[in-house]
Chains A and B, each alone.
Chain A
Amino acid sequence: QVQLQESGPGLVKPSETLSLTCTVSGGSISSNYWSWIRQPPGKGLECIGYIYYSGSTNYNPSLNSRVTISVDTSKNQFSLKLSSVTAADTAVYYCARTFTTRDAFDIWGQGTMVTVSS
């Protein structure tokens, strides 16, 4: 059974770059689409973007200029970088899998809380 696990710093300073990694276990990353989704405290879910295992990406237009998602198939991992963070980027960050860009997010990581604060 495929499982996802987020990892990375829980605290990031304003104006710096948030970096997270999602490790895929129990299956290969070399298929499907892999996404990052976030949820500010007490608020709803927001898609950040996705990467296909081949490396093609798509980002939410509201975050496009600050987001980079990459994949490392040799490590079965994909990563998120969000630059120039502010307090508004404080959220639980989830990684998730979807088969296509019409399908549901069927598998989610447990999420990791990232706080932006000096």
Chain B
Amino acid sequence: SYELTQPLSVSVALGQTARITCGGNNIGSKNVHWYQQKPGQAPVLVIYRDSNRPSGIPERFSGSNSGNTATLTIRGAQAGDEADYYCQVWDSSTGVFGTGTKVTVL
């Protein structure tokens, strides 16, 4: 089965840039989606199809995808961005989520 690997945690200073990676075999050939999940809440879509932001998601969230790594970038991180982040792809008609990354804003 297809696997997506994310770092367990990422720390970022307030106002700085955080980068969260999502590794998978030839992930660049797939559409990657990213979700933000705060404690006790359902996930919220922040990036779809590699680099597109849904309505209402701040411009500081961006995404890229190439080769074996997709990346979610948060520029000018704010305290409210502290959350768990998951990447997701479809493989053989089954949804696959990454292992999840906890982002801490210092």
Residues on A close to B: CB < 8 A?
A: 35, 37, 44-47, 49-50, 58, 60-62, 94, 101-106, 108-111
Contact = CB atoms under 8 A, between A and B. Distances in A.
B48 A106 contact: yes
Of the four ranges (under 10, 10 to 19, 20 to 34, 35 or more), the interface on chain B belongs to 20 to 34
A35 B94 contact: no
Interface of B: 1, 31, 33, 35, 41-45, 48-49, 54, 86, 88, 90, 93-100
B94 A58 contact: yes
A15 B91 CA distance: 30
Contact of B42 (A35, A46, A103, A111): A111
Contacts, number: 58
Contacts of B95: 35, 37, 47, 50, 60, 105
Contacts of B31: 102-103
B42 A108 contact: yes
Contacts of A49: 94
A5 to B, nearest CB: 11
Nearest to A98: B95
A103 B49 contact: yes
